[in-house]
């Protein structure tokens, strides 16, 4: 499946994502990632950077972030205006995991949306 991902809106630097937090572990043969932790980490980076995310129509990502997992594999996280986070392999276009929808994000920088609950890993 080919994803229609617009150019990077904000962020873009590589960072290590350690899979050490409690919560529901999303696993596949290729990737193990706690999507709710990924949401929290993206939010932390967003608030620390002071960047203002711009809402896009039709579910386009607010933020695309390259993520290096502790396994060394590089994946991309797309942080959607709907509150969903997609984790995918940009080379193949394959979606590896996605979170359940959360409350849509607001522009108020003091508002931090709830952490996503259980996500799903696609076959």
Query: pLDDT tens, 77-113?
Result: 776 655 566 777 767 777 766 655 444 444 334 443 3
Specify if 4 maps to a domain: no
pLDDT at residue 102 in the model: 46
Specify if 108 maps to a domain: no
Its pTM surpasses 0.85: no
How far apart CA 116 and CA 104 sit, in angstroms, is 11
CB 98 within 8 A of CB 120: yes
Domain that holds residue 41: 16-103
- What domain count does the chain have? 1
Specify if 120 maps to a domain: no
Specify if 43 maps to a domain: yes
Specify if 117 maps to a domain: no
CB 62 within 8 A of CB 54: yes
Specify if 60 maps to a domain: yes
Specify if 31 maps to a domain: yes
Q: Is pLDDT of 46 > 70?
A: no
Specify if 114 maps to a domain: no
Residue written as token pair 């076959």 = 123
Find the mean pLDDT for residues 37-61.
Answer: 44
Find the mean pLDDT for residues 1-19.
Answer: 30
């Amino acid at each position: 499946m080919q994803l229609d991902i617009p150019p990077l809106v904000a962020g873009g630097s590589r960072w290590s994502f350690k899979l050490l937090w409690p919560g529901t572990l999303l696993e596949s043969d290729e990737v193990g990632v706690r999507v709710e932790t990924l949401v929290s980490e993206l939010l932390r980076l967003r608030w620390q950077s002071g960047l203002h995310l711009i809402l896009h129509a039709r579910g386009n990502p607010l933020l695309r972030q390259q993520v290096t997992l502790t396994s060394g594999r590089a994946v991309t996280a797309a942080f959607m205006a709907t509150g969903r986070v997609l984790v995918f392999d940009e080379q193949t276009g394959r979606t590896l995991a996605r979170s359940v929808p959360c409350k849509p994000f607001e522009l108020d920088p003091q508002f931090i949306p709830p952490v996503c609950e259980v996500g799903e890993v696609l076959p």
